[in-house]
Structure formats: C-alpha cells, structure tokens
Amino acid sequence: MVVCSPCPQRPRSVLMSWAALTTFSVLPWHPDQIGTRFLLFTQKNRYYQEIKTDQTIHASNYGGKRKTRFIIPGYLKKGDEDWPQEMCKVMLKLENVNCIAVEWKKGVTTQYVQAANNARVLAAQVAFMITFLKANFKQTSDKFHIIGHSLGAHAAGDAGNRTAGLARITGLDPTEPYFQDTDASVRLDTSDAAFVDVIHTDGLSFKSKLGLGMSQSVGRPSDLDAIWEGTKKFDACNHARAYKYYSESIFNRQGFVAYPCSNKDSFAAGKCFPCGDDTCPLMGYYADRVTVTDGISETKYFLNTGSSEPFGRYSYKVKVTLDGPSWPNPGFMYVALVGDNDSTEEYKLHRGTMKPGQTYEVLIDAEVDIGDATEVKFRWNNHILNPLRPKYGASKVELQRGKDNKM
C-alpha cells in the first residue's frame, strides 16, 4: 500500500493552501478505495505488466536506461477509460521507452468534486512511484515525462511539484472547476517541470456552458503555454479531443503545426499565416523539439483540426488573379492542390461577383500533405441565373505553405 507520509512533501503552508484556495467540500478517499494501478508497457511486452513499489519491480521489463513516460487519465462523463494503454502501444511503435499507464478508475468515476480531491492522493502516489524508480534504477528526474488529461493534468502538476527536476509535463485540457484562477500551488503550473506544454481544447466556461476545460494560461518563457484551438466550434466532445490529438501527433507531427497569434479572430482571418522566420512549434508529442525563445509563452498558438479522425491538417494559402471579360459576373470559383505526394479535394475560393484583374485568396486546411506542389487546379461555375456565358481564366496563381512559408 502506498501512503502519503513517505512521499516528497510540499511545505506545510502549501499543503494548507489546498483548503484555503479551493472550494473542495469533501475529503479524498483512502488509496485502497481509489485503487490506483501502474501498468507498464515496453517494447518487450505488448500486454501490460502491473508494477508496484516493492522488489517485484526487478522482475518486470522496466529499464533504467530508458526514458519513462507516465500517462494519467482524467474526468470524463463518457469516453474510453483505457485510452492511456492504447497511447502507450502507439508510442512504443516509435520509441523504446518505459510507458506507464496510470489507472485510477474507481477514484475518478465518481462526482467531480470527489474525483478532484482524489487526484491529490493520486499525485502523491505517482510522485512516490517516480522516487521509487529513481532509487532502484539509479535514474534522474530528467528521464521522466508525465502526460495528464483533465484532472490528470493537475495531478501531474502536483506530482511534479513533489518531484524536483522532472523533464516535462504535458497537460491535455486541464479542468477548470476548482482550479481556474487558483494559486499555482494547487493546479498545473510551469514550475512543476523543466518544460510544460498545455493543449486547451474545450473553451466553454464551466459556469455558463458547463465546459470542463481550463482557459487560463500557465506559461513562462521556457514553456509552450498555448491555446491550441482544435475546432472552430466548441462542443462537449472537445474535452476528450485533447488526448486524441496528442496520440495522433505521435506519427503525424506535421499535421499539427501551430501558429503564434494574438487571438482566435486574427487567426481565422489569416493574419498569422504563415510561420515567420522562427519555426512554428508542433502541438503534441514533438512540442519540446522546438527551441522556445524568451517571452514566447505570452503568445497563444492556434491551429485547425478536422472534425473527425484523422485530425491533423496541412495549411496552405492560395491566391488567384482572375482573367476574363472586362465586366464582372456572378459565379463560383474553386481550387484543388496537386503535389508529388498527394492531391486535395476542391475548395471554394470565392462565391459572388467575379471581377477580372482582382485577386482572390483562400486559406486551406487540407486533409493530406501534398508534398512539393506541382499544380494548382482552378475551376469556376457560372451563376445559374446569369444568361451570359463568359469565359474566365487565371492570369496568376500563388501557393504558400504554412509550415515553412515555401512558395
């Protein structure tokens, strides 16, 4: 049984701040009632091995020379409770790590306020497991990365607070209720690890719209604290989308290029496209591969995703200068992109009055990466009510790729 007493502790004043700075009205459950399990996946075992903080750890496939990634699920009204196990399996196809799926189904499938309090015990258990692994395998804290979703994100932050020097914490849509605008000691904060990246996908307010996701930024210059805008229309399913985006990003890094922008409206208007001189960061698994400069955490990052899997999108801007009769005509214009890797479907470039000599542009979030562009197809349709049959063409076509500003 794991108890809190031998765990690395917060200062007493910080422990007391939980009661002072949150509105929890219940006490956390006993660890036995929460039923936390640590499920180890490695490239040597496709099915998990449950590991415990005792000498049986040496009979497992845990390797002290490998990086270790913990994955902590959170609060979901409906959803796949075993997604951390599936993420481990995906991760191990790419790299040789110790992947530990943390299971606490009993402690989190209850009323939210109770689950939020239980997360405090869970955090202590995760911290104690890390301390145990470090001692038994002579590992250092910079070999550990915790990925937490929802309440699991705050548990990850708490565990990081208890374990100095963690390499990275990834927060996947940290929850708002009881954590938004509270002191940094009781929520995920950038001081909890050397690198903290956060994906926000549920932008609805809990008070007005019952949204679960946290909108508060937690960034500092060495971190990627960003609002990663998932879909243009927020809905209840977006709280679960965060871990789905992260999982897909493992094998689809270029589909999650994010653009620094001041706000969502400016991003939607194309004012922050393409990436500037500095490489845009990648949302998800590869977020720590991009050098972050001083002050960048004050910038929000935005990207669009698909409404269903695959979620990754590849951004392009197309400009077409129209050629044709000297008079304007109503109609529709479409473009499609062709490259050496793939081709896209048609996208609407313009609807309405078409004026020769005028340049029209559209931002495209394509489902496929076309590679190096070889062709831009242009098509127009005359309006059904227009008795004339004018002929139009394109005198100039420009294509710009978002991720690297390549023309």
Do 255 and 322 fall within a single domain?
no
Indicate the residue among 302, 325, 356 that finishes a domain. 302
What gap in Å lies between CA 357 and CA 35, rounded to an integer? Answer: 69
Strand order across the 144-149 sheet? 45-51, 37-42, 98-103, 68-72, 144-149, 168-172, 195-199, 224-225
Distances (CA, A) of 138 to 68, 132, 133, 365: 13, 10, 8, 46
Residues 295 and 321 in one domain: no
- Number of domain units in the chain: 2
Counting Cα atoms < 13 Å in the Cβ hemisphere of 299 gives: 18
pTM score? 0.83
- 284-333: per-residue pLDDT in tens? 999 988 766 554 555 678 889 998 899 999 999 999 999 887 788 888 88
239 within some domain: yes
Residue 66 is assigned to a ligand binding site: no
Query: Based on the domain organization, do 323 and 294 belong to the same domain?
Result: no
Answer yes or no: is 189 a known binding residue: yes
pLDDT of residue 292: 60
Residue 228: CB atoms within 10 Å: 24
Q: Is there a domain that residue 187 lies in? A: yes
Among 272, 302, 332, give the residue marking a domain's end: 302
| pLDDT number for residue 64 | 97
Residue 32 vs residues 36, 124, 296: alpha-carbon distances, Å:
8, 13, 43
Query: Which pLDDT score is estimated for 211?
Result: 39
Range of the domain at 374: 315-401
Rg (CA), the chain: 25
Q: Are residues 297 and 327 in the same domain?
A: no
58 in the same domain as 20? yes
Same domain, 54 and 163: yes
Is the preceding peptide bond at 330 cis, omega within 30 degrees of 0? no
Where are the alpha helices (H) located in 138-205, listed in sequence order? 151-162
Within-domain flag for 4: no
| Residues near 101 by beta carbon (within 8 Å), at least 6 away in sequence | 38, 39, 41, 48, 71, 82, 84, 85, 87, 88
- 281: CATH: 3.40.50.1820
- Choose the final residue of a domain: 268, 302, 336: 302
How deeply is 253 buried, as exposed, middle or buried, from its count of CB atoms within 10 A (0-12, 13-18, 19+)?
A: middle
Same domain for 237 and 342, yes or no, is: no
User: With a cut of 50, which residues of the chain have pLDDT below it?
Assistant: 1-21, 204-216, 219-236, 295
The gap from C-alpha 237 to its chain's centroid, in whole angstroms, comes to 14
CA 379 to chain centre: 36
Q: Is 187 annotated as a binding residue?
A: yes
Q: What is the pLDDT of residues 121-156, one digit of tens each?
A: 999 999 999 999 999 999 999 999 999 999 999 999
Same domain, yes or no, for 203 and 259?
yes
Which of the residues are catalytic? 150, 173, 239
**Domain shared by 96 and 220, yes or no:** yes
